[in-house]
Chain A
Amino acid sequence: MHRFANPSRFLKIARPLTGWLFWPGLVLLVAGALCGLLVTPADYLQGDTVRILYIHVPAAWLGMAGWSGIAVAAIVQLVWRHPLAAIAGRAVAAPGALFTAICLATGSIWGRPTWGTWWEWDGRMTSMLVLLFLYLGYIALANASPRDGQGGVSPVTAIFGLVGAINIPIINRSVVWWNSLHQGPSITMRGSSIDGSILWPLGFTLLGFSLWFGAIVLMRMRTILARNKVEARLQRLARG
């Protein structure tokens, strides 16, 4: 693990990996979206409206997976003082917030024709909105607290990331614990209540968006590492 604390060793892997995640991700994503729009049948109840699921579900998954990543990075940063973990936390925050916002927006667009409302304060929607606010708070805190000189997030930001992780199981269980307008989970350990003919492009977009998410995180980590290098060089120049 600590072998990768060396940025140049990390970059040696991250540089080619970015492309390997980005391009297959794009292909899967476009294929999944096209199949979801053109190939799959409409839902018996919702008609064509159901197709927004191919964007909404991956966005929700990545919003939650992003914060889980922040929490894991926070533990690695706080316990093992791994510098790349602090950088990873900062790199994950923006795309995580973006996908959470996409999830909320597509959910709202989906809710209007099916439920008859853009927004309701039920458990699922409220806890997802809280996740967006947590991301914004994390980004603000990361930018406001003193940097560690390597572009990572400060320890207090990492602790915030760890504390915020409590929201993830709450989002997951919100439709089970409480009466809610949002329907219960479709895909569980026991199987899927989405018929196979509608389900399969979701696998494409889920994997495609996930690969993309990984590529974005790697690009952002590389940007932070490159900026460190620039700043170090400028400081050397300034000293003469």
Chain B
Amino acid sequence: MKAKHQRLVLALVALAALVGAGLLAASALRDEAAYFYAPADVRAKGVEPGKAIRLGGMVVKGSLKRATDGVTLRFDVTDGKATVPAVFSGIAPDLFKEGSGVVAEGAFDAKGTFVATNLLAKHDERYMPRELEGMKYDEATHQLKVER
């Protein structure tokens, strides 16, 4: 075996070992590296009240209610398998709306409601013009309206 071939084999073996080690590490991290808990994770694992976590999912359509004080929002977060009620007081990001993704930072209270201290909007990987969505953008009010 020539020295060149020896080095090639060594490099390939080292590369395979590296990739294996990386994949092992990544799969071991799987849950720990998750950025947020989905409602189903919360139900499966149980998160004690008061523990600071992030809760992520979709805002259930029709669940978003604004309290009379104008800054408190109540909504349900779902991942399709479980649904959790949440409450937030403050300014929500523009993209936060029903049927869209949300990541809430906060903790559960004793009654099982998630009390969020901060809201982040999570959008999906689809991008399209408004016409396709069947929506009209009102430049004056910055509101989307359903045309049909």
Residue positions of A touching B, CB distance < 8 A? 41-47, 50, 53, 75, 78-80, 113-117, 120-123, 162-163, 165-167, 169-170, 173, 177-181, 183-186, 193-195, 197-199
Contacts and interface: CB of A to CB of B under 8 A. Distances in A.
Given A44-B132, A79-B11, A178-B34, 15 more contacts: A43-B127, A45-B100, A46-B95, A79-B7, A114-B94, A115-B93, A116-B92, A123-B33, A162-B11, A166-B21, A177-B33, A183-B122, A186-B126, A195-B128, A198-B127
Given A79-B4, A178-B33, A44 B128 contact: yes
Interface of B: 4, 7-8, 11, 14-15, 18-19, 21-22, 26-27, 29-30, 33-38, 56, 92-96, 100, 103, 119-133, 135, 137, 144
B79 to A, nearest CB: 10
Nearest to B31: A178
A115 B119 CA distance: 9
Contacts of B29: 178
User: Which of A42, A50, A80, A115 has most B Cβ within 10 Å?
Assistant: A115
Given A41-B130, A178-B30, A123 B121 contact: no
A43 B132 CA distance: 10
Given A166-B21, A169-B22, A173-B26, A115 B122 contact: yes
Contact of A194 (B22, B34, B93, B126): B126
